Amino acid sequence: MKSQTLLTRFIFATLIGLSACEQQTDTELRTGNTPSIENATLTNTNEQGTDSGDSFIWTTERFADIKIVRYQVPGFDELNLKQKELVYYLVQAGLAGRDIMWDQNYRHNLSIRRAIETILMGQQGGSDEWQAFYTYARQVFFSNGIHHHYSGDKFTPEFTKAYFLDLLEAAGGTLNENAINAIFDPSIDAKKVNQDSEKDLVKGSAINFYDPDITDAEVTAFYGAMTQADPNRPILLGLNSKVIRLKDGSLAEKKWTANGMYGAAITKIIGWLEKAVTVAENQAQADALTLLIEYYKTGDLKTWDDYNIAWVSATEGDVDYIHSFIEVYQDPKGYKGAFENIVQIKDFEASRRMQKVASDAQWFEDNSTTDAAHKKEKVVGVSYNVVSVAGEAGDASPSTPVGVNLPNSNWIRAEHGSKSVSLGNIVNAYSQASDPSVLAEFAHDQDEIARSKEHRELAGKMRTALHEVIGHASGKLEDGVGTPKETLQNYSSPLEEARADLVALYFMLDPKLVELGLMPSLEVGKAAYDSFILNGLMLQLQRIKSGKTIEQAHMRNRQMVAAWVYQKGEADKVISKVTRDGKTYFEINDYEKLRSLFGDLLKEVQRVKSQGDYEAGRDLIENYGVQVDQALHQEVLARIKPLNIAPYSGFINAKLTPLRNQAGEISDIKVSYPKDFVEQMLEYGREHSNLPNYN
């Protein structure tokens, strides 16, 4: 997943960053908070002058709780023409499917987006209400819909319904009553993905993977009744479909294929992929793309598995991609894949360094703290590369992962291996746009600050490498145990992230990493521990509204792990909670004992996954990962507010423009770096709007 995929974000210039699934874990330490600054334009030394040399503008604007950043695409000019064409076609294939993610996020999103686009293209204003509308519009663009990209809470307009309708009428636009009510009535579809186990997970979620009246129990029964042709090599049931209710009350799947739901967009995607086949770097790459096209045409999930086997085996070449319906984090039941596209160019020098981790995958598996019965006897086909992103779309944009490990089928990973990538230019852009003030406020002493300044970049990169390459490739299920989404249900994702984090944390303090030349000393591991505990117990609380519990899977994982080791080590004072001048700090007193506790929890989490122990998994997450210490939460918000730092960052994409000769043939591809977020969103709306308002 995005750290399985998905999924923390330098001695090594561009080794790795935050885990994809985490989307800014260590960057959270650098970028801090506050969600209340409206319409502020950021300026710093990186934002002066033109886009040349050290004066490249990294951060372009700030609104609500979001900072907009740009990235560069190093290495593109070194590609030959066919490779540049391949990159261009793959980027276009992603943009062709952009509407799909909007519709997946919520059934009214496309109609609302187009109404907003109409208003923005028709007029501008300077009043307070206009500024409130403009902020709302950018929030919607950033999140691919009217729900926050991370928390899933629906945005609250700071302008009136009457004002919005006046704007819409003046611009000549229209919007149906149900969509208007969805914007302004806080009781309608308030949560994109509901993870509260006391509520109906499906009916309580606004996500458009199920008809609105379908219940959690019905979905469980629907997929529970399906059988697998080969239980040892199960297909990912439900990955590429919406569940709908038929007239007789029964349920059925509406497949996302060229001739089914989202067909107009998928047909465009296929056209671009067919062009990509003609300029593929090698036969293995062409074969994988051909299988992906076949999957889009038929929707056959066996073909999806065949494609993933071909894709993970295609390791030669400078260009690679992640594309289709992949991550299931947006589905409360863990079946449906969100559309995403990431096109990448290999960074060979940085990748060679990190191959040391991948090549020693078996050593890490053998030396894990997990039970021998839950270890893989043979870890196969693990590849790891540092790459430069050339374009993103769907679930990967504007908010992007920084590390990805795929495929998500456990049996394919076990039999054929996996690909792990760090998005090196994204990591670099985060670093260029970062602010160190949070560390100074929350670190408990100067030793921690000094260690962080010296080692945090490498610590974050190494922890993510271990998380993605080793953590998500580790462990196995016991014979006869169902897949985690079946056995662990809504706790599957946070437990998977916990397993990967714990593998990384346990080995971050292992001398093996120093022996391999990947770290200069174990001080790097200590910096990783400092960062994880601080973030898990305090800093990530900046992303939670007052009075709320934690619902997001990665945040649940981080608090669960940090709170568990804190509690289990309390008697030995492994971690101390220190109050100084009315402020709370956490100090690690014994790093080796903390490592041992990480190892103990790793063993238990792997057991839970291997045996499908729902009750134990539920208790870990609910008892340690969900509830929020309200007094500590208020303190964090109060301390971080004066720092005036956005907790979330996302990106304006690079733009690829084909240059043609007199015969109309592509002679080159030009890369440029747009500076206006809204302008790019409006351009995408004009050029890549391939679906009707309702699908």
What confidence tens digit (pLDDT) does each residue in 289-346 have? 999 999 999 999 999 999 999 999 999 999 999 999 999 999 999 999 999 999 999 9
For residue 441, give the nearest of 581, 649, 648, 643 by alpha carbon: 643
Quick check: is 670 in a domain?
A: no
What per-residue confidence (pLDDT) applies to 233?
95
Does the structure show a pLDDT above 70 at 53? no
What's the total number of domains in the chain? Answer: 2
**In the predicted model, what is the mean pLDDT of residues 263-267?**
98
Of the ranges 45-49, 85-89, 209-213, 546-550, which one carries the lowest mean pLDDT score?
45-49
Edge-to-edge strands, sheet with 382-394: 319-327, 338-347, 382-394, 418-423, 403-406
Count CB atoms within 10 A of the CB of residue 319. Answer: 22
Does the structure show a pLDDT above 50 at 387? yes
56 shares its domain with 108: no
Q: Which run of H or E residues covers position 26?
A: helix 25-31
Residue found under tokens 């919005």 = 164
39 shares its domain with 131: no
What per-residue confidence (pLDDT) applies to 43?
31
534 shares its domain with 613: yes
Quick check: is 14 in a domain?
A: no
56 shares its domain with 146: no
CB 429 within 8 A of CB 131: no
Phi first, then psi: give them for residue 306, nearest 5 degrees: -60, -40
> Helices 109-122 and 177-184 meet at what angle, rounded to 10?
90
What per-residue confidence (pLDDT) applies to 51?
64
* The pair of three-digit structure tokens given for residue 42, joined into one six-digit string: 């950021």
Of the ranges 144-153, 450-459, 647-656, 663-672, which one carries the lowest mean pLDDT score?
450-459
Alpha helices in 188-244 (DSSP H): 216-224
The domain boundary residue, chosen from 159, 184, 209: 184
Quick check: is 554 in a domain?
A: yes
Quick check: is 395 in a domain?
A: yes
The domain boundary residue, chosen from 143, 167, 184: 184
Does the structure show a pLDDT above 90 at 350? no
Residue found under tokens 């009916």 = 203
CB 197 within 8 A of CB 490: yes
Torsion of CA 522, 523, 524, 528, to 10 degrees: 110
Quick check: is 242 in a domain?
A: no
For residue 208, give the nearest of 166, 169, 241 by alpha carbon: 241
> Which of the given ranges, 142-146, 313-317, 350-354, 452-456, has the highest pLDDT on average?
142-146
| Burial of 661 from C-beta contacts in 10 A (0-12 / 13-18 / 19+) | exposed
Confidence of residue 356 (pLDDT cuts 50, 70, 90): confident
Structural domain of residue 167, as residue ranges?
Answer: 99-184
| 652: three-class secondary structure by DSSP | strand
Euclidean distance between CA atoms 40 and 44, whole angstroms: 13
The domain boundary residue, chosen from 125, 151, 184: 184
Confidence of residue 353 (pLDDT cuts 50, 70, 90): low
57 shares its domain with 159: no
460 against 599, higher pLDDT: 599
57 shares its domain with 168: no
What confidence tens digit (pLDDT) does each residue in 98-132 have? 999 999 999 999 999 999 999 999 877 779 999 99
50 shares its domain with 154: no
Positive or negative torsion for Cα 207, 210, 212, 213: negative
Quick check: is 281 in a domain?
A: no
Quick check: is 519 in a domain?
A: yes
What per-residue confidence (pLDDT) applies to 6?
34
342 shares its domain with 401: yes
Euclidean distance between CA atoms 435 and 642, whole angstroms: 13
Count CB atoms within 10 A of the CB of residue 5. Answer: 30
Torsion of CA 330, 335, 339, 345, to 10 degrees: 100
Query: Euclidean distance between the first and final Cα of the chain, in Å?
Result: 27
What is the percent of the chain with per-residue pLDDT over 70, rounded to a whole number? 92
CA angle 242-246-249, nearest 5°? 120
461 shares its domain with 524: yes
Quick check: is 336 in a domain?
A: yes
58 shares its domain with 104: no
62 shares its domain with 104: no
473 shares its domain with 570: yes
The overall pTM is greater than 0.85: no
